[in-house]
Every structure is written in C-alpha cells, then in structure tokens.
Structure 1
Amino acid sequence: MRKYEMMVLFDPTLEDETLKEEVSKVEDLIKREEGALEKVDLWGRRRLAYPVNKKREGIYAVFYFQAGPERLKEIDRVMKINQKVMRFMIVKRED
C-alpha cells in the first residue's frame, strides 16, 4: 500500500452538520476501498485565488491515507460524482 494525500475543496454554502456528513462520506469511501485513513485536517473556509463554480470561497479538507494504487480509480470516480465537492486532488506522499 502507498501513502496518499487528498485535498478536497467543498462548497462554501454547506452547513456545519452537512460538512461533517460529507467528510464522513469521504472517510467511509477510503475505508470501503480497503484504504487505511491516517488523519483528516479541516482547514476551514478560505478565499480562493480565482472563482471556482462562480464561488470565491471554499472549505478545505485534507485526507491522509494509505491504499493500493488500483483503488484510486474508484475513489476518483466517486469524488467526481459528488455535487458538494468543487475540486479535489490526490497526490502520492514521499514520506
């Protein structure tokens, strides 16, 4: 299993309770794909450098996890479908 970091930019109109549910859904997705979740950092609401989906702010969350490289395809597919996710990126960690 390799180590990955996934940064997710959530829609800024989400309520706190809805945000917690969405973070939980991402955690469940990683676990369902046989990944090992290490840590979740919620950065909170931040101003964006340029508009994304006509919004100037977003809610950032960073997920640190381990998973097999073959599992990223399904994680990527499900994240693209989620309407509450404006952007996301998965990178391989070197540590």
Structure 2
Amino acid sequence: MTHTHQYELMVIINPEIDERQVPTTLDKFLAVITNDGGSIDSVDVWGKRRLAYEIQKKNEGIYAVVNFTSTSDAAQELDRQLKLNEQIMRTKVLRAEEAIAMVASEAKRSEEKAARKAAAPARARRTETADAKA
C-alpha cells in the first residue's frame, strides 16, 4: 500500500498571464495528482504580488497556494513538471507538517526579535543610570 501525505504547494506564476487563467493553468499540472488517486483540497490564488527580489527579470509574480493529498511520487512529479514550464517562475512543495513547522519557527523567531527589541531600551536606561552613578 502506498502512503499518502498532505502537501502544500506554493507557486509563483509569470505576471504577464491573465489572473483569471491561473486556476486553469494550475489544473493542467494538478491532473498529475488526481490521475494518481490523490485529491486537491484547496487552490488559493493570492494574485499579483511584488517579489522580494527579481526573478527572470521580473519584479512581480502571481502567487498561488495549493493544498493537496497524494503519494510522494506524484508530488515529486508535479514539482518536476512545474519546474519545466516557463510560465512558472518559482515552485516549492512542502509536506503539510513541514509547512506548519516552518510557520511556527518563523513566529517564534519574530517573538524573540520583538522581545529583544523591547528589552533594548531597558538595557540602555540601566547603562545610562550606571554611567551617571560613576
């Protein structure tokens, strides 16, 4: 018996295609999953967003997130086919538990950074007080 897992696919698509075509464009690739007996749980098109850095000489991309359940072989094949297509600028397939762990660790890092920032003025005041006493 083959094991299925839940996955999250993040994809950045060339901004020159019509956003209304994104679900249809993705469906062609997602057939790899459904033909293998997997299921597409959700397709969330975020729309055009500014990129953090230029990809293929472009500053924008159309972001989409797809949650699906499939075998690891089908997920790898989906990733391979997406990477071969010139309309797809970036792709990342993660097991759902990996995606959750990444979000959790990022949130923890943000909390720690905020705590350090909040503590910085208090440290500065303590230093100023010590300097004044000396």
- Counterpart CA distance in 1 for 2:41 and 2:53 is 31
Q: Does 1:31 align with 2:34?
A: yes
- How far is 1:17 from its partner? 4.4
TM-score (norm 1): 0.88
Question: Would you say the 8 A contact 1:6–1:88 is kept in 2?
Answer: yes
Structure 2 residues without counterparts, runs of 5 or longer:
101-134
TM-score (norm 2): 0.65
Higher relative contact order (CA 8 A, sep 6+): 1
- Aligned CA RMSD, in angstroms, stands at 1.6
- Does 2:50 align with 1:47? yes
| Identical amino acids, percent of aligned pairs | 36
* Cα distance change on mapping 1:80 and 1:33 into 2, 3 Å: farther
C-alpha distance in structure 1 between counterparts of 2:22 and 2:43, whole Å: 13
Give runs of ≥4 in structure 1 deviating > 6 Å. none
Which is greater in Rg? 2
Q: Deviations over 1:8-43 (max 9, x none)?
A: 100000023433421221332321233211001110
Higher helix share: 2
